[in-house]
Structure 1
């Protein structure tokens, strides 16, 4: 049996530059990954199967049309795999949960058989976040997010807290609510500089659709983190802290005062 973590993806910065003629948006984003997420395990079988467990398993309406099944179908991996997916990340949450799961499948296939040379093209066809999620290392994404470049990761090991109001927020309506204003390019530099000097252009449209995001950000910023921001198209927000004790103190307060919110504590990879 092989096991792999599907590391939660966060966008430390997300600049939307323009809407393209093909309907997609031109983006500049700073990907980072948390050392926590869904868990996948695989074992040999006569054919591919997928079973889901965990708190958010019910959010996967069609397991056989799920991106995990599509990732399996996209890669040579022998006769068959029985995949168990423990779904710990909320669905439609701005954490790339499905993309992270697909990325974990790619890494599992890499362990067992190696990846084909065109693996990045295969990953891109599954979703814009999937190529970054395959490696699950901090990087800069441009274009639709699939053109990746390295970045100096000076935030590795930084304690992070993820918070979601337990409300799904599909990506499409958030992009549709974007006001179309280009607010400028993402800054350059190491991870910390880009994160602190960057922004998330989808934060305002996401709040217009899910006001609870503003409540989460307000509470997180009261704890004086290094940075608190929404991830991706929401509704999950994150906060970075100088120490694990600061993060744990913030998490304990949130759990006490806002017991309905979903929390996950970890560190940046």
Structure 2
């Protein structure tokens, strides 16, 4: 979703949640091929872009102090890659409001990069036929192609295979993070060879209860190695599972954020308030509705 105020364009960089994540194999180049189901929460970082004399990045928000504005920031990398691809000067001020925890299994860096690509494509009036944003994004992070879509989707390969899932019902989620950063590379580094099979749904569930039933026969292969790195993950999953109204509790991505699925948003908000008292970051959110920003450009 994007909004425009005068010359400023704002785009939400939504939290990515892996409802299940199966590691299928390890390629010769060291990358792991996955089968995963992504959904995106309404809770998000916010990217704002506006014309300027040069490219710059300002970071604000509750997690701003943990990020750098140096050249290796995924937001600046995305802006420069897009500018180089279409051969223009990136004369833009980018403001990132960082609401999502860092290195948390929510795809925050990838979501921010994807949001910048979408925002700048609109600001710079770049036609969808002029550049392959998916290919461009994959060079920044494996979650960027899915984050460009920002709607429920299956993700395969190393992230380049993205298949939208139309009709998946929206539902309430609770996100909880212990304040511990877990690097994806370190989690995969401790993953053994207990590979899984692809497990895409035979049909799209039409209710939350159907969705939860299907998810209970699937899992997150990174949950066990994440717990080895951070014992708080197991504690959080148990705490979420014990809250009133929780239907399923699990790790998202490589962690350390865990999620719970609820039957209604009130229960999710009550659980968030309860778990915040334990010193954890916790937010209740609805999953985002499908949106296809490129089709309106």
The interval holding the TM-score normalised by the smaller chain is: over 0.9
TM-score, scaled to structure 2: 0.85
Residue 119 of structure 1, aligned match among 123, 127, 133: 133
In the TM superposition, what are the counterparts of 1:121-160 in structure 2 within 5 Å?
Answer: 121-156=135-170, 158-160=171-173
Q: Which whole-Å CA distance do the structure 2 matches of 1:82 and 1:94 have between them?
A: 27
2:273 alignment partner in structure 1: 252
1:200 alignment partner in structure 2: 220
Residue 280 of structure 2, aligned match among 244, 261, 265: 261
- Asked if 2 retains the 8 angstrom alpha-carbon contact of 1:186 and 1:194, the reply is no
Deviation of 1:179 (Å) = 2.0
2:100 alignment partner in structure 1: 89
- Asked if 1 retains the 8 angstrom alpha-carbon contact of 2:138 and 2:159, the reply is no
Task: State yes or no: 1:41 paired with 2:48.
Answer: yes
Q: Which runs of 5+ in 2 are unaligned?
A: 1-7, 206-210, 289-297
- Asked if 1 retains the 8 angstrom alpha-carbon contact of 2:105 and 2:257, the reply is yes
Q: Which whole-Å CA distance do the structure 2 matches of 1:255 and 1:262 have between them?
A: 6
Task: State yes or no: 1:102 paired with 2:151.
Answer: no
- Asked if 2 retains the 8 angstrom alpha-carbon contact of 1:124 and 1:146, the reply is yes
TM-score, scaled to structure 1: 0.94
- Asked if 1 retains the 8 angstrom alpha-carbon contact of 2:58 and 2:69, the reply is no
Deviation of 1:21 (Å) = 0.5
- Asked if 2 retains the 8 angstrom alpha-carbon contact of 1:95 and 1:236, the reply is yes
Secondary structure of residue in 2 paired with 1:82? strand
Q: Which whole-Å CA distance do the structure 1 matches of 2:251 and 2:187 have between them?
A: 13
Q: Runs of at least 4 residues of structure 1 off by over 4 A?
A: none
2:248 alignment partner in structure 1: 227
Name the count of aligned residue pairs: 266
Stretch deviating more after TM superposition (34-43 or 112-121): 112-121
Task: State yes or no: 1:239 paired with 2:233.
Answer: no
